[in-house]
Chains A and B, each alone.
Chain A
């Protein structure tokens, strides 16, 4: 033990000095404890006006990515592709044996779709704060709202229910209503933007065309949402305002992970998904449903259908490519909406035969349910693999009592597996159920 001198007074003073020194240094180090992060913008800084364009691009980024993910998995859930893959969850999805614990739901479907929805709503709100009064005629706001509406549609068409911002889960009908609200605001702002652009001393035709494009994008969405609500008059009203030649596209490249088209990656880089055991397998003479020929290692894997810029409109088909675009809304879709909403009319028959011609099919003379069945068939070909099918099948089953979901024994199963006919939509993932206080726990 070290021998020391007993100096209690000095000792107390020294202790006091030490305490003061420690407290002083603590106060000085607050800034030191703020770590730099060159990879992120923290919340108070996001509303910086210099970020306005980046904020407006957020919905496009998220929607394009989410759309390509949802396209593939919804295709597998419906009858567009068959995939009895080695990965257990993929086979489960193919059989519609869905459960909340599936990691795929949150990672590939629900998560990307909710991000697209949130970023669109969020962008619209932030841009309104940043832009002030001019937000009412700013095309970036209109476009964000249009993407928001489409993101709501995507969620409504695929999910059984959808909570928003940790809220009470909404039914698809409520979601479609929310979508229409956003589309209507988008249409109003895009129209104002067009007026504003046209009022400028030197009219920029590109800006005017962009305003029209956003407006039509919103109109197609509004028509789609109305149709899914069985509001046929509303659907026709929106759809009739869309020019037949209009197309709105999502763009992809292989520059970064977030820019890649996930459907392309899964169908081209991996060997997932085939036309075997689907109704599309038999559409062998329709250039709109191209596939790899049956003698190669990846036989019957889909090639580019009409919505893809790599579509060749030939029976041989064209491969998907890393750099391509995908049609997500169009005048063609508006025409289909009008036809479905107005029912088996002569105009519908004329439209159906136009589409049959596109598929190298002879004109047909059809009426009533047969005509509507043919309309559904043509629609499935024109919008093959572009994320329309699941919403369509759910709508057909709900409003027309036409169930086109795969049924019965699961092809190739050696253990008696069957399609789960009770399931037609994706359940909420577990983490939403456990982490959302507004979802009752059983």
Chain B
């Protein structure tokens, strides 16, 4: 960071501290205590984790597992006491606190649908009630979700629970992560949302380990096994998650927020009398591979039965075929047969936390340890985290919150995907009944056996420290200040080690000698965020709120990599002692400064009109481009509180109705160093010497600017039947202009590279609907249900380049299968169908090969590569107030997936798929059989990908199912505890899909934007766990 800004930050911090210190108050001498219990509508069941507060005194408490709370040292007098909990109606009581006495205030909360009083902090510049927002916002009560079921990472928390948020998992290997897309892909160059944790920008990129594609030293490209730093966060530490989904809501986050913003709010302590509450959770279980690939088939025809190794060696190649009649189809599945291939991975998770506080402080501390074995023997993921939140309010005008989060992870990945060293590839391409190609004892495996594959070691050890501090200072009723500062520091140590012989020699030239690669990527993101609020009662019924602020983010990444190839002695693997060594260094810096001002007018606390401007400057902007300004306007109208509409709404059984609309812009900044024209140093061989040479690097673009996302949202929040039924509906229309697009530079410039430009536009349009409520609320039975529906129409509306209508996503391994075409979704599937006669029969060459035309014009659109329709359907049924059953069904449709795995099995090199071994096709006896035979040529085509392999990936999954039992208090008390819950959880239990592959969610190219291929990626694993949660 350069000095002027550093000094500015120091000055601002010092001023803030001085203001706070000088305002330290005298503690009131005459106080009383407020005590009570918060229960559900029946009055029987305590509601935990509800916030009870005395707003005028800035005092609050959080209810215990039984719903009890205490707020001590409340200044005597008449005060309002309010209680708030996501999912329940807000309640307020006015009471009189008597000095030296205790006042009891119990609350009974009803479950509500449209929570207009819920407070959110994301995209608003500060805490704001949902009623004031013209945009939609999703608020996930992670604390409650954690109590219902088992979720090991943030991706699982988000999956199926927020309309418009699409999780694309990629791989089922433990420790891997899915991609997050919000409201579709809005750019050719990236679509990740930005994530904040308690206001601090949080790194969610790949952990930086070596890709486990198994290509040895050459194959370090991305694979299905994408990781994410986001998933190092333990869901047990999260109180809630807020998601704003596009530019209309994210304007105040500026030039990096066009793809949406996710704010993670961690658990905090409890202010009040001296108190401590302990919680412990222990969970154990197993993950298992249940979506198994199809058996490998082999037709034992006469030639097979006669085959011998060579004229000299007359050993039969297919000995099993000799034991069955000719033309019998035999089958095998080495993955399930070989006991060293896969296992049921054990899961152990422990966590403990304590939360409490005193009159002026609160704290929350938690420690977690997760140990999870993968289904492969060289796959596991261990995670340890410690979190501490500390709050201190020296006066009614000021408050400090400090958060510390430390995480340590150790991930080990097996080889997967399109590698001959991957067990799944070796298994599904296996030859049933053949003598082993890999030596006796390895029958059925094609390219590698578990005995070799399990020796591969790919470790990623990550350590992460996130520190944050938020100071709130409200010197006057009409002037409020909040400043947040902190950093997120990630340090990874990765190792890829294979000894001589561990990697199949055909995969890598260095396989025979072994290699040891070490890498230490680090990333540090500094955040400084100030927001000031000015309140002005223009009239008794009109409140003007002015919000202004600034946000500074400094993002710095470094990596150092040492690569050694050629292990002389297997016990000596230190990089510097290997035959050939190289070093690599990476560096990237992105700094941004944003300013915003927002004006909101609230009329009668029912009509809210908001306008805002955000200005951003960024280190990646071109020199010819200075600031970008994003505007925003929104309106929210709580019609149900309008006296004139009440009669009509009551008659319609509508008790809550908010109409809202928002229009706004936000952006996405270019990647670092895209703007300046640069040269770099390369090396040149001169005789026997290597010397440095200057060469062109990036041609740059001095006009480079961020993308401009523009979004219109229109919707409503609805509560009916006394809030038993609720609905939130949003229509969005989001366009991205000035799209960041990598354009190949004409080589006559001397710069043989691409250049980032602002060209083209993308449209995303859709609806999001959540319907939720409690249809049945009986004394001994309650049913809560929620349906989240969303659609997304994604369309490339133009490249911005004259006559350009088509582009191809990079990183496709089987020729062009996906394309970006104007008028169609980004990354849609476009393939050439085989030539057919008028009757639809495939035309074949004399050699029996299917005939395909070539060139782009012969391609036909098959469909999009990501879902266009999604639904999450969850139900919670509670019996006798103690037994809860929770289930989540996850439905995705509209997408297609390239089934390369099955395609490969049907090709001549493998010949083990069902189609090839279908006796009707193999030995045609009729005209219909002949058609089947001809279709085999289509399926077996190697020169191009036939449309038959681009298959619908629609599915319904039973994603989560759990049973929770609250142990009776009398039993719990015997153990000295205050509460106990036993939870049995299952994940990925059942899939309904017509997709021909194993799992319609996998993607072997997770790290490459848009490319989606099912090519030997491990499917989602079933997980069963049992957890015991104790409270003290």
Does A258 contact B694, Cβ atoms closer than 8 Å? no
Residue in contact with A434 in the complex, picked from B587, B593, B617, B802, CB distance below 8 Å: B802
Given the complex of chains A and B, what is the CA–CA distance between A25 and B687 in angstroms?
Answer: 55
Chain B residues with Cβ under 8 A from A6's Cβ?
536-538
Residue in contact with B4 in the complex, picked from A32, A41, A162, CB distance below 8 Å: A32
Chain B residues with Cβ under 8 A from A163's Cβ?
746, 748
Size class of the A contact interface (CB-based, 8 Å) = 35 or more
Does A40 contact B746, Cβ atoms closer than 8 Å? no
Stretch from A111-119, A215-223, A329-337, A369-377 forming part of the interface with B: A111-119
Does A61 contact B683, Cβ atoms closer than 8 Å? yes
Does B749 contact A43, Cβ atoms closer than 8 Å? no
Does B684 contact A118, Cβ atoms closer than 8 Å? no
Chain B residues with Cβ under 8 A from A11's Cβ?
478, 534, 536, 546
Q: Is A136 an interface residue (CB 8 A)?
A: no
Q: Is B554 an interface residue (CB 8 A)?
A: yes
Does A434 contact B803, Cβ atoms closer than 8 Å? yes
Does A57 contact B534, Cβ atoms closer than 8 Å? no
Chain A residues with Cβ under 8 A from B589's Cβ?
35-37
Residue in contact with B5 in the complex, picked from A31, A42, A88, A115, CB distance below 8 Å: A31
Q: Is A259 an interface residue (CB 8 A)?
A: yes
Does A43 contact B676, Cβ atoms closer than 8 Å? yes
Chain A residues with Cβ under 8 A from B750's Cβ?
114-115, 117-119, 122, 165
Residue in contact with A35 in the complex, picked from B4, B7, B546, B672, CB distance below 8 Å: B672
Chain B residues with Cβ under 8 A from A349's Cβ?
none
Most buried by B among A18, A32, A46, A255: A32
Size class of the B contact interface (CB-based, 8 Å) = 35 or more
Q: A40-B697, A54-B681 are in contact. Are A164 and B748 (CB under 8 A)?
A: yes
Chain A residues with Cβ under 8 A from B743's Cβ?
431, 435
Which B residue's beta carbon lies closest to that of A268?
B509
Given the complex of chains A and B, what is the CA–CA distance between A111 and B476 in angstroms?
Answer: 65
Does A35 contact B479, Cβ atoms closer than 8 Å? no
Q: Mark B745-765, 1 if CB is under 8 A from A, else 0.
A: 111111110000000000000
Given the complex of chains A and B, what is the CA–CA distance between A163 and B745 in angstroms?
Answer: 13
Which A residue's beta carbon lies closest to that of B539?
A6
Residue in contact with A28 in the complex, picked from B4, B534, B543, B847, CB distance below 8 Å: B4
Chain A residues with Cβ under 8 A from B478's Cβ?
4-5, 7, 10-11
Q: Is A167 an interface residue (CB 8 A)?
A: yes
Q: Is A199 an interface residue (CB 8 A)?
A: no
Does A434 contact B804, Cβ atoms closer than 8 Å? yes
Does B752 contact A114, Cβ atoms closer than 8 Å? yes
Q: A25-B550, A37-B589 are in contact. Are A42 and B676 (CB under 8 A)?
A: yes
Chain B residues with Cβ under 8 A from A441's Cβ?
802-803
Interface residues of B in 215-268 (CB under 8 A from A): none
Interface residues of B in 816-861 (CB under 8 A from A): 845-847, 849, 851, 854, 856
Q: A37-B673, A88-B815 are in contact. Are A253 and B748 (CB under 8 A)?
A: no
Given the complex of chains A and B, what is the CA–CA distance between A378 and B835 in angstroms?
Answer: 47
Given the complex of chains A and B, what is the CA–CA distance between A29 and B680 in angstroms?
Answer: 27
Residue in contact with B692 in the complex, picked from A28, A57, A101, A122, CB distance below 8 Å: A57
Given the complex of chains A and B, what is the CA–CA distance between A2 and B534 in angstroms?
Answer: 11
Given the complex of chains A and B, what is the CA–CA distance between A111 and B749 in angstroms?
Answer: 10
Closest chain-A Cβ to B240's Cβ sits at a distance in Å of: 22
Which B residue's beta carbon lies closest to that of A2?
B535
Q: Is B406 an interface residue (CB 8 A)?
A: no
Q: Is A319 an interface residue (CB 8 A)?
A: no
Does A60 contact B537, Cβ atoms closer than 8 Å? no
Q: Is A230 an interface residue (CB 8 A)?
A: no
Chain A residues with Cβ under 8 A from B617's Cβ?
26, 29, 33
Given the complex of chains A and B, what is the CA–CA distance between A251 and B686 in angstroms?
Answer: 6
Residue in contact with B745 in the complex, picked from A36, A61, A415, A431, CB distance below 8 Å: A431
Most buried by A among B590, B744, B745: B744
Does A88 contact B690, Cβ atoms closer than 8 Å? no
Most buried by B among A1, A5, A31: A1
Closest chain-B Cβ to A124's Cβ sits at a distance in Å of: 13
Chain B residues with Cβ under 8 A from A256's Cβ?
682-683
Given the complex of chains A and B, what is the CA–CA distance between A89 and B502 in angstroms?
Answer: 34
Given the complex of chains A and B, what is the CA–CA distance between A279 and B684 in angstroms?
Answer: 35
Q: Mark A88-124, 1 if CB is under 8 A from B, else 0.
A: 1000000000000100001000111011011100100
Q: Is B22 an interface residue (CB 8 A)?
A: no
Q: Mark B1-43, 1 if CB is under 8 A from A, else 0.
A: 1111101100010000000000000000000000000000000
Given the complex of chains A and B, what is the CA–CA distance between A30 and B3 in angstroms?
Answer: 10
Residue in contact with A32 in the complex, picked from B2, B476, B698, B746, CB distance below 8 Å: B2
Q: Is B637 an interface residue (CB 8 A)?
A: no
Q: Is B134 an interface residue (CB 8 A)?
A: no
Does B602 contact A43, Cβ atoms closer than 8 Å? no
Does A414 contact B847, Cβ atoms closer than 8 Å? yes
Given the complex of chains A and B, what is the CA–CA distance between A17 and B618 in angstroms?
Answer: 25
Most buried by A among B3, B554, B683, B685: B685
Q: Mark A413-435, 1 if CB is under 8 A from B, else 0.
A: 01100000000000001011011
Q: A25-B550, A41-B679, A42-B677 are in contact. Are A2 and B591 (CB under 8 A)?
A: no
Q: Is B548 an interface residue (CB 8 A)?
A: yes
Q: Is A62 an interface residue (CB 8 A)?
A: yes
Does B745 contact A435, Cβ atoms closer than 8 Å? yes
Does A54 contact B692, Cβ atoms closer than 8 Å? yes
Which A residue's beta carbon lies closest to that of B852?
A415
Does A61 contact B695, Cβ atoms closer than 8 Å? yes
Which B residue's beta carbon lies closest to that of A257?
B682
Q: A30-B4, A431-B743 are in contact. Are A35 and B534 (CB under 8 A)?
A: no
Q: Is B716 an interface residue (CB 8 A)?
A: no
Q: Is B619 an interface residue (CB 8 A)?
A: yes
Q: Mark B396-417, 1 if CB is under 8 A from A, else 0.
A: 0000000000000000000000
Does A22 contact B695, Cβ atoms closer than 8 Å? no
Given the complex of chains A and B, what is the CA–CA distance between A434 and B755 in angstroms?
Answer: 14
Given the complex of chains A and B, what is the CA–CA distance between A114 and B680 in angstroms?
Answer: 17
Does B536 contact A35, Cβ atoms closer than 8 Å? no
Q: Is B693 an interface residue (CB 8 A)?
A: yes
Q: Mark B541-585, 1 if CB is under 8 A from A, else 0.
A: 001001010101010000000000000000000000000000001
Which A residue's beta carbon lies closest to that of B593?
A29
Residue in contact with B747 in the complex, picked from A40, A43, A46, A111, CB distance below 8 Å: A111
Q: Is B595 an interface residue (CB 8 A)?
A: yes
Interface residues of B in 682-722 (CB under 8 A from A): 682-687, 690-698
Closest chain-A Cβ to B690's Cβ sits at a distance in Å of: 6
Residue in contact with A432 in the complex, picked from B535, B554, B676, B746, CB distance below 8 Å: B746
Chain A residues with Cβ under 8 A from B677's Cβ?
42-43
Q: Is B801 an interface residue (CB 8 A)?
A: yes
Interface residues of B in 579-607 (CB under 8 A from A): 585, 587, 589-593, 595, 602, 605
Does B746 contact A435, Cβ atoms closer than 8 Å? yes
Chain B residues with Cβ under 8 A from A365's Cβ?
none
Q: Is A269 an interface residue (CB 8 A)?
A: yes
Does B684 contact A259, Cβ atoms closer than 8 Å? yes
Does A259 contact B683, Cβ atoms closer than 8 Å? yes
Closest chain-B Cβ to A44's Cβ sits at a distance in Å of: 10
Does B746 contact A34, Cβ atoms closer than 8 Å? no
Q: Is A64 an interface residue (CB 8 A)?
A: yes
Chain B residues with Cβ under 8 A from A187's Cβ?
none
Q: Mark B318-359, 1 if CB is under 8 A from A, else 0.
A: 000000000000000000000000000000000000000000
Chain A residues with Cβ under 8 A from B552's Cβ?
29, 32
Interface residues of A (CB under 8 A from B): 1-8, 10-11, 14-15, 18-19, 22, 25-26, 28-43, 46, 51, 53-55, 57-58, 60-62, 64, 86, 88, 101, 106, 110-112, 114-115, 117-119, 122, 162-167, 251-253, 255-256, 258-259, 269, 414-415, 429, 431-432, 434-436, 441
The 10 closest A-B pairs by CB, nearest first: A118-B750, A57-B693, A31-B2, A111-B752, A40-B678, A431-B744, A32-B5, A61-B684, A61-B693, A35-B619
14 pairs, A vs B, C-beta closer than 8 Å: A1-B605, A5-B478, A19-B548, A31-B5, A34-B619, A36-B587, A37-B589, A40-B678, A41-B678, A58-B695, A111-B747, A165-B749, A252-B685, A431-B745
